[in-house]
Amino acid sequence: MKKVISVRDLCRTFHVGDIDVHALDHVNLDIHEGEFIAVMGPSGSGKSTLMNILGCLDTPTSGSYELLEHKVSEMDDNQLSDIRNQYLGFVFQSFHLLPRLTAWDNVLLPMRYSRSSRTNASETIKHAHRVVKELGMDDRMKHNPNQLSGGQRQRVAIARALVTNPSLLLADEPTGNLDSKTSANILSLFDALNEQKQTILIVTHEDEVAKHATRVIQMRDGKIEGEIENTKYGIA
Q: What is the pLDDT of residues 120-176, one digit of tens each?
A: 678 878 888 999 998 889 999 999 999 999 999 999 999 999 998 899 999 999 988
pLDDT, mean of residues 114-123 = 64
**pLDDT at residue 114, rounded to an integer:** 66
Q: Give a three-class secondary structure readout of the chain.
A: CCEEEEEEEEEEEEEECCEEEEEEEEEEEEEECCCEEEEECCCCCCHHHHHHHHCCCCCCCEEEEEECCEEHHHCCHHHHHHHHHHHEEEEECCCCCCCCCCHHHHHCHHHHCCHHHHHCHHHHHHHHHHHHHHCCCCCCCCCCHHHCCHHHHHHHHHHHHHCCCCCEEEEECCCCCCCHHHHHHHHHHHHHHHHCCCCEEEECCCHHHHCCCCEEEEEECCEEEEEEEEECCEEC
Of residues 122 and 84, more confidence is placed in 84
Q: Indicate whether 235 pLDDT > 50.
A: no
**pLDDT at residue 116, rounded to an integer:** 55
Q: What is the pLDDT of residues 182-221, one digit of tens each?
A: 999 999 999 999 999 999 999 999 899 999 999 999 999 9
Q: What is the pLDDT of residues 4-61, one digit of tens each?
A: 999 999 999 998 888 888 999 999 999 999 999 999 999 889 999 999 999 999 999 9
Q: Indicate whether 236 pLDDT > 60.
A: no
